[in-house]
Structure 1
Amino acid sequence: MTLKPLSTYRLQITSRFPLDEAAAVTAYVAALGGDWVYLSPLLAAVSGSDHGYDVVDHSRVDAERGGAEGLRRFSSAARAAGLGILIDIVPNHMGVSAPRQNPWWWDVLRLGAESRHARAFDIDGRLGGGKVRLPILGAARDEVVARGDITVDPTPAADAPDGTLSYFEHVLPLAPGTTRLVGDLPALLAAQHYELRFWQDQSAELNYRRFFAVSELAGIRVELPDVFADSHQEILRWLREGLADGLRVDHPDGLADPGGYLERLADGTGGAYTLIEKILEPGEELPSWWRTDGTTGYEALAVLDRIFVDSDGVQALSEIDERLRAETGLARPASWPDLVHETKRMVADELLQSEVRRLVRVLPMGVMGAADALAEILACFPVYRSYLPAGREHLRHAVAEAVRRRPDLAEAIEQLEPLLADPELEVAERFQQTSGAVMAKGVEDTAFYRFTRLGTLTEVGGDPSQAALSTREFHAAQQARLSAWPHSMTTLSTHDTKRSEDVRARLSVLSEMPERWAEVLGELRAVAGSGHGPIDSLFWQAAVGAWPISTDRLLAYAVKAAREGAEATGWQHPDAAFEERLAKMADAANGAAAEILARFVEEIAGFGWSNSLSAKLLQLTGPGVPDVYQGTELWDLSLVDPDNRRPVDFVARARMLESLDAEVARGILPPVDVSGRAKMLVTSRALRLRRDHPELFRAYRPLAVTGGASDHAVAVDRGGVTVVATRLPAGLARIGGWQDTVLMRPELSATDVLTGRRIEPGPVRLAELLEKYPVALLEDAR
């Protein structure tokens, strides 16, 4: 086992796949070639949570996920298999949707400011008279009371000595001494340490910090030493007792002081391997002074995707998108930055209005038009956040852009700039926490669903305005990663990706045949459409990318995507008639449109498989620590969560790997076909070689490829291993294949680890090298 992983394999631990079942998978992960296992959050979460990011109790491992003993048994199994263990942790927030399951939150609701946990939550006592505002009611409070929807149970309980009140599934504690008011419900409600509010009030009237716009996730103040200690005692025990080797930190940008948090965490873990879920905008660098080994790899994903996108075709796809918007009567922003500004401003004005209003409340001086000006600066902020005193250049950029867009706010913006730049001021601290939330909700969760020209480009960590990379640009990015963050994670699929790696690989083919896609899209829309052109494009791309796909999965994606885009329907006010049209489209996909879909997918599937194998090999052998998301060693055609968290059949995969190894030993190689066995071959051979011979992966030297199809090859020497991949395979087919294209190699013989073939010293024709697969993994003779 290594102190820093050579690779990781992500497992989603749930009640349906608890730690004991995960323990049974460790032998398979080791056989595949994995070095560490990477687990989703394990602390006690809201009952039934499939993701675990809604932690309710930091003191224990979730019983539904296997509990403390389950973790111990899993750790023993992993050690027996020679695997390290990386565990996801959630320092920014806690789950509060079921208050009684969260002892800290329950205590605050019962005792208010007198609770020892009151300081753990980021509650603004200046709003609401010190009461926590709970947006859980389906109507105004007086109406709810008049209907009799609130009931009271004065029976004492261990955690509620004065009884409880209930509103449908919501159960809340009564404050001490208030049982006497049971006969007067309005008076009883007024006497509590919380204030029941209409659910729509969360956007503008909430008084506690939350995760993005999710009121069921309340932010906690880990910058306070006692809160850090209380929320990390169990986590640090895992490291101390050898139950884990490293940590993945969720959403550090939500913290008041991410750098300070990482310092305290490193001190507590003894400098254990630590990654952070941090999204970097193009050109943005991870703070070099942070005590972390790197990010979870979204920026690597963006680079890997774009080497397979045809830049010329993207322009044609953009023209299709513009026609669809015009046909639908939608105004088209002049550019991606304009669209981002529009959606971020909408989020700041609506979903996150509560957070903007809090910024106004903590200003040390009055500023006329402060709310409008703050929202504009947030909408213009170019990255997720700054880390004052570092990052003032981002604030200067945002201020200049805000003044350009809104000269009428120039005076207010100029007054705000020095306040937002002063790290000693609360408004500056909170602005940094808020800008990331506005970016995430405005870009990932809104603009990405409006910018529909090519689904590959609207992925977490990517900037759709940067559509494609040349091989030179790709190599430069890989060399920079090796130089700056050699132990940072790389990824292709995660629990947060909006489309799995294989869906994106297939959709990238559309950039090579935009005219053909326009024809097919027209055929599909003639069968069924929503009346909203861009959503039709998004929907039918999803159907093509994930085909074959069931009606219910496709409909779930369509509804989520349309609501996130918030143009034709939305989360707060769904348009039932529009969503019925989406349902008819989903029915048509497996009905009247099925033949069109099947025919087109058959036309492009092989090119998609080529992209998939190439991306996988480049990721698994490239700089950084490659992660394999559960199940993606075979074709995985998943869409946005929860679709990408579906159960994985590990028994079948273990059997397949065993039979694959036996067949390869007899010289029988799997074809590139629907079974995905070729992907398992590439994944297992790359992981095993990296684990067994890490010394072969310490350099990064681009290799020369000459000939008429040289632009279709990516080749690199990793220091003893040569990696070759195919890009833009449809275009390669159109020009007649590799023809005279040659990979320049030294006078060394090598073995293709994928096929077992011996490669003679010197240059090699790609038509020969890539005869069986679109990729090659050459181990130099030693």
Structure 2
Amino acid sequence: MRIPASTYRLQITRDFDLDQAAAQIGRLRSLGADWLYLSPVLQSTEGSDHGYDVVDPTRIDPARGGREAFDRLCRAAHEAGMGVIVDVVPNHQGVAEPRQNPWWWALLQEGRGSRYAEAFDVDWEAFDGKLMIPVLGDDTGDGGAPLPGRAEQALADLAVRVDDGEPVLAYWDNLYPLAEGTYTLDDSGRVTADAGTVHDRQHYRLVNWRLGDAALNYRRFFTVSTLAGVRVEDAEVLEQSHTEIRRWFDEGLVDGLRIDHPDGLRDPGRYLQELQTMTGGAYVVIEKILEPGEKLPPQWLENGWTAGTTGYDALGTVDRLFVDPAGAYPLTTLDAALRQGSSAPGTGEGNWARMIHGTKRAVVDGALHAEVERLAREAADEPALADFTHEQVVDGLSEILANFDVYRTYLPQGAGHLQGALERAVAARPDLAAVVTALGPVLGTGSEEADLSPAARRFQQTSGMVMAKGVEDAAFYRYPRLSSLTEVGGDPSVFSLTPEQVHDEMARRLLEEPLAMTTLSTHDTKRSESVRARITVLSEAAEDWASTVTYVEKQAAAAGVASLPDRILTNLVLQALAGAWPIDRDRAVDYALKAAREAQTATAWVDGSESFEGQLTRLVEAVLGEPSVRAAFEGFARRLEGPGYSNALAQKLVQLTMPGVPDVYQGSEQWAPALVDPDNRRPVDHVGIARRLEALDARRDDPAVPRAHSVPPVDDSGDAKLLLTARALRLRRDRPELFTGYEPLRAEGRAAQHLFAFDRGGAITLVTRLPLGLARAGGWGETSVTLPEGTWIDELTGGRFQGTTEVADLLDLLPVALLRPA
């Protein structure tokens, strides 16, 4: 297995295609990146910017450059001494435009007899053996909400016609194939049958779009009906869906894979085993979210099926190192006061455990109810459930899912998580005790992996959906006590970690998963690392922040903008604006509206409130443009910049030098104050960054360079972070022998708690933590740290040090240092 020293993530799109990515190889090599890390490149839905909606897994997307461009990029990377890792999507395919997906088109046309019938996860026994397609608008069905199995009453918008030489069923711009023998053509080649009659004879049934949540018989990606689940547990499906991926390794083009959403697979462990055989033992990391204290199944790491996760767990550890625990009480008090003053539904609950139980239960009763119904159908023949009605089984399954504390059990290893969910479900709903207890063995308690029932396997695929939609996409937007903690894979009830706790975790990572990826920003993070670094400062200025929120609301009211009925959302949005300040109006409004719709308290993606969204927009516009409101906010936001930059440099250096394989998300080598997608997928000025790095390198020995970019003064250019990223990546790549161990270094003196330091076996990292508290204490004073024997050179400033050294001297130009032996 070839192992990267580091990776650099590039988002490949129509506007930044594979050839343009190849043009960056020299720059990224100069930055110090060891491998290119590419977003999905297989053919996706036309116009897709993210690539996770693959429509043809057998070819490289022509819109992203096509096969020849991909091959050129991989060979150019190898010629430059770089490896290539590619993001792949085994769990689902895009079906928004059926004709673009040849597998889905054939399935719709041929039904259960299609060669692709086994490719998609369809429950053919439900709904008269027809595949339900939730696409019809609210002008159809029974008052816009048709019931499962009831024929829609208003299908006048359906038409049958010949399109591009092929007879199709058309619903506005949506085209669907016609099965052989279900239509007739006249002498002029036109379809003569009535559209409704033709529709009734197909292998699919078009139903109201709302039925996707209530009753659906194919597995989706979470709640996205245009992403259909794929059955890679079937050997033929695996082979067909991975022909292009296999070619990459057969031809020596690709060195590793990043696996998207393995929790959605029927048997992720087996899939990872198959990948190792297919790729010849390549480096594979998985987008797996681990809750605090949770670990991957040990056999996955021991047997080399995966090197570990993509790093959300590392992100959560690093972030909490820079949170001041003293901020917990005042920020919790502010949160409680705002909840008391809110009138919107769902804003009253401030206890995290109770909140996520409620949001998860809402998801299983609403957006994911179809998935629970399918689970109940799959378990219907289990003898243990013979005495219970279908409704009781659905209720029991829903309550168990709402009480899950991890994304997925990997039975039998995860039996403890399942047992805990069963016990919590009984405690929450004693009336369901009998059915929940009966469901335990059905779902896998006491079973070996080979003996798991179909329902137990599907339950494991479903629990992650509930966590993702109920926690990440709902509760995270309702719990902004300190919003930098509501990040993918994080538990915001864990407010901070002590340096000793972080040291222990670093040592564990080195021992148990030394090749796992580490990260601070991804295409999925709710806020970029730079934004979180500033928001984290609120833990050191919590009382001032509480006063600022109240004062901004007061000034906004005076300007004619009333307080939102969801004042929790006000706190969330103001924290985002402070973290990304200065920010333009469109970016700020787009973020605020997305946050509000995800929170689902006063508006939503479906049936949202125009009046509330207008009020929220006016609040954002007032903060940005109304002089009195902006003045109330901007002064505090500016105060966060200096300590926020200090945090940004510190967390970046820790991530780049800690145990694991560091990933740099495109553009995050500079400040890059981005918010949630698509804001974090904005174009990156790669040429400009390269020029700035060249200028920094040309003045490598000039002490004025780090001094000019010290903190404070604030460095708006981001050159300090660029300098740090390049020097750290180069050292990891060129001197790997310096990164083989882990030993904490501890300072002595009154400000010792503000230094976090460790020795990786020759490379020493020293960073400032809690910079506001350090400034209040009068700085480092006589705080010192004893370095290992020998002379040490700071890669960032060129300073030389040995023995017991005052921290003020070590960090006189920058709030961080990276030492190597002279």
TM-score > 0.5, shorter chain as reference: yes
CA distance in 1, matches of 2:637, 2:785: 31
Q: Is the 8 A contact 1:445 1:564 kept in 2?
A: yes
Residue 761 of structure 2: aligned partner: 719
Note if 1:410 corresponds to 2:420: no
Residue 598 of structure 1 and its aligned partner are, at CA, apart by 2.8
Pairing 1:178–2:178 present: no
Say which SS state the counterpart of residue 627 (structure 1) adopts.
strand
Alpha-carbon distance between aligned partners in 1 of 2:630 and 2:553, rounded to the nearest angstrom: 12
Runs of 5+ consecutive residues of structure 2 not aligned to the other structure: 143-151, 185-190
Q: Distance in 2 between matches of 1:297 and 1:557?
A: 24
Distance 1:156 1:629, change over 3 A: closer
Cα distance, 1:49 vs structure 2: 0.6
Aligned partner of 2:808 in structure 1 is 767
The aligned counterpart of 2:603 is 569
Q: Distance in 2 between matches of 1:546 and 1:151?
A: 49
From 794, 799, 805, the counterpart of 1:752: 794
User: Which residues of 2 match residues 622-633 of structure 1 at below 5 A?
Assistant: 622-633=658-669
Give the 5 Å matches for 1:523-562: 523-526=551-554, 527=556, 528=561, 529-562=563-596
1:160-196 Cα distance to aligned partner (Å, 9 max, x none): 4xx0122122111111122237432221110111111
- Find the residue that maps to 1:744 and give its secondary structure: strand
When residues 608 and 424 of structure 1 are mapped into structure 2, their CA distance, relative to the original with a 3 A threshold, is: same
The secondary structure found in structure 2 opposite 1:745 is strand
1:243 alignment partner AA: L
Q: Which residue of 2 aligns with 1:191?
A: 201
Displacement of 1:75 in angstroms is: 1.2
SS in structure 2 opposite 1:452? coil
SS of 1:516 mapped into structure 2: helix
AA aligned to 1:568 is A
Distance 1:195 1:704 in 2: 67
| Amino acid paired to 2:501 | E
CA deviations on 1:326-372 (whole Å, 9 max, x unpaired) are: 10146643621111111111111101000000011011233331111
Distance apart, 1:142 and its partner CA:
5.3
Deviations 1:39-96 (A, max 9, x none): 0001000011111000000110000011001101111221232110000000000000
| Letter in structure 2 aligned against 1:769 | L
Moved more, 326-335 or 138-147: 138-147
- Code of the residue aligned with 2:666 in structure 1: it is Q
Cα offsets for 1:314-335 (capped at 9, x unmatched)? 2211110111011014664362
Give 1:208's aligned residue: 218
Q: How does 1:630-669 map to 2 (within 5 A)?
A: 630-669=666-705
C-alpha separation in 1, matches of 2:718 and 2:224: 38
> In the alignment, residue 338 of structure 2 is paired with which amino acid?
L
Q: 1:32/1:55 Cα in 2 relative to 1: closer, same or farther (>3 Å)?
A: same
Q: Hey, what does 1:81 align to over in structure 2?
A: 80
- Is residue 244 of structure 2 the alignment partner of residue 234 of structure 1? yes
Say if 2:742 is the partner of 1:700: yes
State the shift of 1:701 in Å. 0.1
Q: Give distance in 2, aligned partners of 1:656 and 1:733.
A: 31
Distance (Å, rounded) in 1 between the aligned partners of 2:583 and 2:653: 26
Give the secondary-structure state (helix, strand or coil) at the position aligned to 1:266.
Answer: helix
**Residue aligned with 1:442, SS:** helix
User: Between the two proteins, what is the percent identity of the paired residues?
Assistant: 51
Q: Distance in 2 between matches of 1:589 and 1:84?
A: 46
User: Post-superposition shift, 1:147?
Assistant: 6.9
- Please tell me whether residue 255 in structure 1 is matched to residue 265 in structure 2: yes
Cα deviation, residue 156, structure 1: 6.9
Report whether the alignment pairs 1:62 with 2:104. Answer: no
Q: Which amino acid aligns with 2:814?
A: Y
Q: Determine the C-alpha separation between the residues in 2 that align with 1:661 and 1:597.
A: 38
Match of 1:507 in 2: 535
Q: Structure 1 residues 309, 4: closer, same or farther in 2, change over 3 A? A: same
Q: 1:153 aligns with which of 161, 165, 168?
A: 161
8 A Cα contact 1:182 1:188, kept in partner: no
Could you tell me which of 666, 691, 714 is aligned with 2:733?
691
Instruction: Tell me the residue number matched to 2:395.
Output: 372
How many residues in Structure 1 have an aligned counterpart in Structure 2?
Answer: 775
1:676-731 deviation per Cα after TM superposition (whole angstroms, max 9, x unaligned): 00000100000001110000000100012110011111010110111100101011
Question: Are the counterparts in 2 of residues 551 and 589 from structure 1 also a CA contact under 8 Å?
Answer: no
TM-score, normalised on structure 1? Answer: 0.97
Aligned partner of 1:169 in structure 2 is 173
Q: One-letter code of the match for 2:162?
A: P
Contact 2:520 2:529 in 1 (8 A): yes
Q: Which residue of 2 aligns with 1:10?
A: 9
1:338 aligns with 2:354: yes
The amino acid of 2:590's aligned partner reads A
Asked if 1 retains the 8 angstrom alpha-carbon contact of 2:781 and 2:808, the reply is: yes
Q: C-alpha displacement at 1:586, in angstroms?
A: 2.4
Match of 1:308 among 308, 322, 339: 322
Is the CA contact (8 Å cut-off) linking 2:529 and 2:648 kept in structure 1?
yes
Distance 1:149 1:555 in 2: 36
Question: Deviations 1:402-429 (Å, cap 9, x if unpaired)?
Answer: 0011001000101111100144311101
Q: 1:770 to 1:666 in 2, by over 3 A?
A: closer
Q: Show the counterpart of 2:145.
A: none
With 421-430 and 329-338 compared, the bigger mean Cα shift is at 329-338
Given that residues 663 and 669 in structure 1 are in contact (C-alpha distance below 8 angstroms), is that contact kept between their aligned partners in structure 2?
Answer: yes
Letter in 1 for 2:172: F
C-alpha contact 1:141 1:196 (8 A) present in aligned 2: no
Do 1:524 and 1:540's aligned partners in 2 also have CA atoms closer than 8 Å? no
Match of 2:415 among 392, 395, 405: 392
Would the alpha carbon gap of residues 182 and 413 (structure 1) be closer, same or farther in structure 2, given more than 3 Å must change? farther
Q: Does the 8 A contact of 1:120 with 1:221 survive in 2?
A: yes
Asked if 1:472 is matched to 2:500, the reply is: yes
What is the rounded CA distance, in whole Å, between the counterparts of 2:623 and 2:179 in structure 1? 55
1:725-781 C-alpha deviation (Å, 9 max, x unpaired): 01010111111011111112233111011001111x211101111111000011123
Distance across 2 between alignment mates of 1:155 and 1:604: 59
Do 1:552 and 1:586's aligned partners in 2 also have CA atoms closer than 8 Å?
A: no
SS of equivalent residue, structure 1 residue 472: helix
Mapped to 1, the partners of 2:655 and 2:596 lie a distance apart of 32
In the alignment, does 2:778 pair up with 1:731?
A: no
Alpha-carbon distance between aligned partners in 1 of 2:192 and 2:583, rounded to the nearest angstrom: 54
CA–CA separation in structure 1 for the residues paired with 2:798 and 2:772: 27
Alpha carbons of structure 1 residues 349 and 147: separation in structure 2 relative to 1, 3 Å? closer
Q: Report the Cα distance in structure 2 between the residues aligned to 1:289 and 1:321, rounded to whole angstroms.
A: 42
Please give the alpha-carbon distance, in whole angstroms, between the structure 2 residues aligned to 1:536 and 1:152.
50
Distance 1:266 1:768, change over 3 A: same
User: Alignment RMSD, CA only?
Assistant: 1.4
The CA deviation at 1:560 is 1.0
Secondary structure of the residue aligned to 2:662 is strand
Q: 1-side partners of 2:690 and 2:236: how far apart?
A: 45
Q: Determine helix, strand or coil for the equivalent of 2:793.
A: strand
The question of whether the paired residues in 1 share the 8 Å contact of 2:528 and 2:680 is answered with yes
Where 2:118 maps in the other structure, the secondary structure is helix
Contact kept, 8 Å, 1:499 with 1:640, in 2: the verdict is yes
- Give 1:253 shift: 0.3
Match of 1:264 among 274, 278, 283: 274
Counterpart of 1:737 in structure 2: which amino acid? G
The 8 Å contact of residues 139 and 198 in structure 1, kept in 2 or not, is answered as: yes
Amino acid at match of 1:360: A
Distance 2:419 2:803 in 1: 54
Q: Tell me the SS of whatever aligns to 2:176.
A: strand
CA contact 2:169–2:195 (8 Å) conserved in 1:
no
